[in-house]
Amino acid sequence: MIKNMPNVDAESIKKTDESKLFQGNQSNHPPRILLLYGSLRERSFSRLATEEAARVLQYLGAETKTFDPLGLPQPDACDENHPKVQELRELVTWSEGMVWCSPERHGSMTSVMKSQIDWIPLSIGAVRPTQGKTLAVMQVSGGSQSFNTVNQLRILGRWMRLLTIPNQSSIPKAWLEFDDNNRMKPSSLYDRVVDVMEELVKFTLLTRDIKDHLVDRYSERKESLAEFKKRIAQRSEE
What is the per-residue pLDDT across 37-50, written as a single tens digit (0 to 9) for each? 999 999 999 999 99
CB-based contacts of 138, cutoff 8 Å, min separation 6: 46, 49, 50, 53, 99, 100, 101, 102, 150, 168, 169, 170, 171, 193, 196
Residue 10 is predicted with a pLDDT of 65
Residue 16 is predicted with a pLDDT of 61
Distance in angstroms (rounded) separating the CA atoms of residues 113 and 97: 17
CB-based contacts of 198, cutoff 8 Å, min separation 6: 56, 60
Give the count of beta carbons closer than 10 Å to the beta carbon of residue 209: 15
The answer to whether the Cα torsion of 172, 161, 61, 89 is positive or negative is negative
The CATH number of 28-237, from 3.40.50.360, 3.30.70.60, 3.40.309.10, 3.30.43.10, is 3.40.50.360
Domain range list for the chain: 28-237
Nearest to 2 by CA among 16, 14, 17: 14
Find the helix packing angle between 188-207 and 45-59, rounded to 10°.
Answer: 60
Distance in angstroms (rounded) separating the CA atoms of residues 168 and 227: 41
Name the β-bridge partners of 138: 101, 169
Return the SS3 of 125: coil
Residue 210 is predicted with a pLDDT of 87
Residue 66: its H or E element: strand 63-66
What phi, psi does 125 have (nearest 5°)? 65, -125
Q: What percent of the chain stands above pLDDT 90?
A: 69
Residues of the chain predicted below pLDDT 50: 1
Nearest to 99 by CA among 138, 70, 131, 154: 138
Residue 235 is predicted with a pLDDT of 81
Residue 128 is predicted with a pLDDT of 85
Q: Are 170 and 141 in contact (CB under 8 A)?
A: yes
Residue 226 is predicted with a pLDDT of 85
CB-based contacts of 19, cutoff 8 Å, min separation 6: none
